[in-house]
Structure 1
Amino acid sequence: MNLRQLEVFQAVLQTGNMSAAARLLCITPSAVSKAVAHTELQLGYRLFVRTRQGLSPTPEACVLATESQGIHQQLDALRRTARNLGASDEGQVRLAAIPAVTHEFLPRLLQRHAARYPQVAVEVRTLHQDQMTQALLTRSVDFGLGFYAHPHPQIRSELLVSGRLSLAVAPALWGRAPRAATLRARLTQVPVIRLVGDDPMRQSIDDIAQRVGAPLAPAIQVQTSRLALELVRLGMGWTVIDFLTAQRQDPASVVTQELHELAPISLFAYQARSVPEGLAATRMRALLGPALHEALQADPAGKKKPL
């Protein structure tokens, strides 16, 4: 099977109809029919049988579908990459960031960039760490921002800044214990708000919970640190947040406590190794340092000092 035959085969598999497959591929139904017939002639067996529901794959076609799925996905990724490369010019920057960076730091960067390069369009996507790979490798975005070095070998991670993780808890819960109480004494009876999935922050939350003797179950589990923090403000428990998020908290609604028991967390910029960076993206990345410095120099008055 050549690539065109594979495209037709996959289209008929997806739609179960010659006409629908033709619309999907932007060709005529007769062209689809001829391509299928030619492929069947080459292979020496039927690929589809007609039923009341439409065209159903034969057992041989089901085997081919399983074997060819990866090739089809790679072709789709190639098309997106080719299309996205054409859109990556000097008049646009496309970046992705994890939710914590999008909400807490990115506005400062966008403000600086708009003041310096008002003619450049900017597209921002909020993605989780595991979604960064496809976006970067298909050039849907020019670069990404996230905590922890990216594990994929085709993605380069550039260290930007490091800082301490912090405990976040409502003042009412924090103030129930005596002023000189240890962290363990303050949190033993306070519920922990955890993260679901393989978010690296989850391990940090679980580590502190184990240290202070907090039960891990039953517990509320959420997908983002942003939602966990909102639950903290409502007095529903405690969680662990990054240094950028901690820097912007109002001590009247959230007490933040640096956790020296945990290793520092680092913010990285991610880039695909295979494609050179455009001028507009390079200029925006050059503003990351000053914007981060500004964010980290914000007045932390009223925040709790480490125990």
Structure 2
Amino acid sequence: MQLRHLEIFHAVMLTGTITAAARLMNISQPAATRLLLRAEDQLRYKLFNRVRGRLLPTKEALVLQAESEKLLAGLENLRKLARNLGTASSGHLRIAAAPALCLELVPLAITRFRQKHKDVTFEVETRQYADLVRTVLTQEVDIGIGFDIPPHPGLDLSPLAQGHFYGAFPAAQEKSLPNLVKLNYFTRQPFIGLRSDDPLGSAFSATLNLAGVKLDPIVEVKTNQVALALVEKGAGAAIVDQYTAAARNPAKVAIRRLQPSLPFAVQVMRPKHGPPGLLAGQFGSALDWAEKSIATMLSAPAA
């Protein structure tokens, strides 16, 4: 029994007449009649008896009905899945990102994406550099988002944006701060430093060395969020990435551009040898929108 035969059988069972079944299947009445006759010919028994203008199911048809409904329901689910895969309207996306990117960027992107794709679910993990790269390489996540990721033979790296560092100060200093803060300004007060054992911290340390500025931190931290929390409590000043800066509480933290500006790269990582994933690819446009939205929250850094 072919699929088309199952469809005409199901249509007649639902409607009771060949005319209504043809209308349901969007075919002509003669075409529907031919389909039903071919189905009965292949089965070698009748499926329906004509009684006063209606088609009544035989005992054999009633036995077939339950299984045919299961099969057609499964087929419809398969069709929906195929459509959803093509439009990324459903599915599950696993994301790992640097902690700073999970404050504003990733939440904004997810919210934006789910406005059009409400059936998509997410799993989000914060990871430091080495762990972030590992989870992408081992395909524990679909995409990773991080700062200044060096090239790797197992990774596909896509640039998302060029970010910048900002000076973060206790809000009580707001009125006394210059509009543009030079690096040596941080030698005048307690400084909260970022450890240099990941690419972002390493790039920052290299910039300080090139500028001939030596900053002796009172506290060294692993993440920009911890640095920002210390600034909020009045422990000192810090230099943080723009995504952490955008998530600050303006009543507690004053933000200033740096001179010269200190740029860094924001990249999206995917496993080079894993399946491309339509969902992950389409999520990239939401990340791009979120990044541009965050950039407008802060003034453009000075050149």
Per the normalisation by structure 1, the TM-score is 0.60
CA gap 1:190/1:214 in 2 versus in 1, 3 angstroms? farther
Alignment correspondent of 2:242: 243
In 2, Cα distance between the equivalents of 1:279 and 1:239?
Answer: 40
SS across alignment from 1:164? strand
- Structure 2 counterpart of 1:111, one-letter code: T
Alpha-carbon contact 2:93-2:122 (below 8 Å) kept: yes
Alignment correspondent of 2:161: 161
Alignment correspondent of 1:109: 109
Deviation, 1:151, is 3.5
Deviation, 1:157, is 1.2
Alpha-carbon contact 1:133-1:152 (below 8 Å) kept: no
Deviation, 1:180, is 8.7
Deviation, 1:275, is 1.4
The answer as to 2:98 corresponding to 1:121 is no
Alignment correspondent of 1:50: none
Alignment correspondent of 1:188: 187
**How many equivalent residue pairs?**
213
Deviation, 1:102, is 0.6
Alpha-carbon contact 2:160-2:268 (below 8 Å) kept: yes
Deviation, 1:248, is 3.8
Structure 1, gaps ≥5 residues long: 1-89
In 1, Cα distance between the equivalents of 2:180 and 2:119?
Answer: 55
- Structure 2 counterpart of 1:261, one-letter code: P
Alpha-carbon contact 1:142-1:277 (below 8 Å) kept: no
In 2, Cα distance between the equivalents of 1:287 and 1:251?
Answer: 26
Deviation, 1:241, is 1.3
CA gap 1:105/1:182 in 2 versus in 1, 3 angstroms? closer
SS across alignment from 1:246? helix
Tell me the C-alpha RMSD between the 2 structures.
3.0
Written as runs of structure 1 = structure 2, the 5 A alignment for 1:61-72 is none
CA gap 1:213/1:275 in 2 versus in 1, 3 angstroms? closer
Alignment correspondent of 2:264: 265
- What per-residue deviation string (whole Å, max 9, x for no partner) do you get for residues 76-110 of structure 1? xxxxxxxxxxxxxx621111110000112111111
- What per-residue deviation string (whole Å, max 9, x for no partner) do you get for residues 121-176 of structure 1? 21111111111222112111011111113342211210011132111111334655
Alpha-carbon contact 2:179-2:257 (below 8 Å) kept: no
Structure 2, gaps ≥5 residues long: 1-89
CA gap 1:152/1:257 in 2 versus in 1, 3 angstroms? same
In 2, Cα distance between the equivalents of 1:224 and 1:264?
Answer: 17
Alignment correspondent of 1:278: 277
Alpha-carbon contact 2:183-2:259 (below 8 Å) kept: no
CA gap 1:91/1:215 in 2 versus in 1, 3 angstroms? closer
Percent identical pairs in the alignment equals: 26
In 1, Cα distance between the equivalents of 2:127 and 2:179?
Answer: 41
SS across alignment from 2:103? helix
In 2, Cα distance between the equivalents of 1:189 and 1:290?
Answer: 38
The answer as to 2:131 corresponding to 1:138 is no
Alignment correspondent of 2:152: 152
Alignment correspondent of 2:292: 293
- What per-residue deviation string (whole Å, max 9, x for no partner) do you get for residues 277-304 of structure 1? 2122222223222222222233x4xx79
Alpha-carbon contact 2:170-2:231 (below 8 Å) kept: yes
In 1, Cα distance between the equivalents of 2:113 and 2:147?
Answer: 22
Deviation, 1:245, is 2.4
SS across alignment from 2:200? helix
Deviation, 1:184, is 6.0
CA gap 1:158/1:181 in 2 versus in 1, 3 angstroms? closer
Alignment correspondent of 1:83: none
Structure with bigger gyration radius = 2
Name the structure where strand makes up a greater proportion of residues.
2
